[in-house]
């Protein structure tokens, strides 16, 4: 009977070890699945409304804009806005910088910073940012004229080209530096 008791003890021990091991493994491998959650990414978009420019021959000092240029924030999130202005004319076939020859007037709220960008800062600063709410109209350019002290008869017939480059970003969580820039022609940052 000793053998029988040893076998019963061994079987009981094996069953006990099996239950303990199974319980520990079940405890270590227990998984839970969280319910599905969805979120929508914000969209930053603006609509450009061209103003009206006098297309006739102009004279120095004459404001050629009769209706201001405007942007409308159609984003679904608050955003920030900045712009660069480039003004050139053709000297032969070579584009020549004309930024000193033209006086332009930006609408109120635009501030020139040391990086050469104009930033739209119409309201009170919030955590170092100036958020523009969705469905907000932003006047941009309201005046443009040639500087009469620098533009004389030698500019007769010249065509001036004004390029305005706008950049918008969502107002929270990123900075302009984090967004970065790239030149698509050269591929250089």
Neighbouring C-beta atoms of residue 181, cutoff 10 Å = 9
Find the helix or strand (DSSP H, E) in which 8 lies.
Answer: helix 2-28
Mean pLDDT check: name the lowest of 52-61, 65-74, 158-167.
52-61
Q: How confident is the model over 166-170, as a mean pLDDT?
A: 84
Q: DSSP of 21-81, one letter per residue?
A: HHHHHHHHS----PPP---------EEEE--EE--S---TT---EEE--EEEE--SS-EEE
pLDDT tens digits, residue range 100-112?
988 888 999 999 9
Q: Please write the tens of the pLDDT for every residue from 128-157.
A: 788 888 998 999 888 888 888 888 888 788
> Would you state the pLDDT for residue 64?
86
**Which pLDDT band, with edges at 50, 70 and 90, does 188 fall under?**
very low
| 28 confidence band (pLDDT: 50, 70, 90) | low
Instruction: Give the pLDDT band (50/70/90) at residue 170.
Output: confident
For residue 89, the tally of other CB atoms under 10 A from its CB is: 17
- Taking residues 79-85, report their average pLDDT: 88
Query: Is pLDDT of 86 > 60?
Result: yes
Q: Using the predicted structure, report yes or no on whether residue 120 has a pLDDT greater than 80.
A: yes
């Amino acid at each position: 009977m000793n053998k029988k008791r040893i076998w019963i003890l061994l079987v009981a021990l094996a069953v006990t070890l099996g239950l303990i091991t199974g319980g520990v493994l079940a405890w270590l491998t227990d998984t839970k699945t969280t319910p599905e959650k969805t979120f929508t990414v914000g969209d930053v978009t603006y609509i450009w409304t061209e103003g009206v420019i006098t297309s006739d021959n102009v004279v120095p000092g004459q404001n050629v804009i009769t209706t201001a240029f405007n942007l409308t924030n159609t984003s679904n999130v608050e955003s920030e806005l900045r712009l660069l202005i480039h003004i050139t004319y053709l000297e032969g076939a070579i584009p020549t910088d004309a930024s000193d020859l033209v006086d332009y007037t930006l609408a109120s709220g635009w501030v020139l910073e040391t990086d050469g960008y104009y930033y739209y800062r119409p309201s009170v600063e919030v955590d170092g940012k100036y958020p523009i709410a969705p469905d907000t109209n932003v006047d941009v350019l309201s005046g443009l004229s040639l500087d009469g002290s620098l533009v004389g008869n030698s500019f007769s017939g010249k065509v001036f080209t004004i390029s305005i480059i706008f950049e918008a970003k969502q107002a929270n969580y990123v900075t302009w530096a984090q967004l970065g820039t790239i030149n698509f022609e050269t591929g250089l940052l």
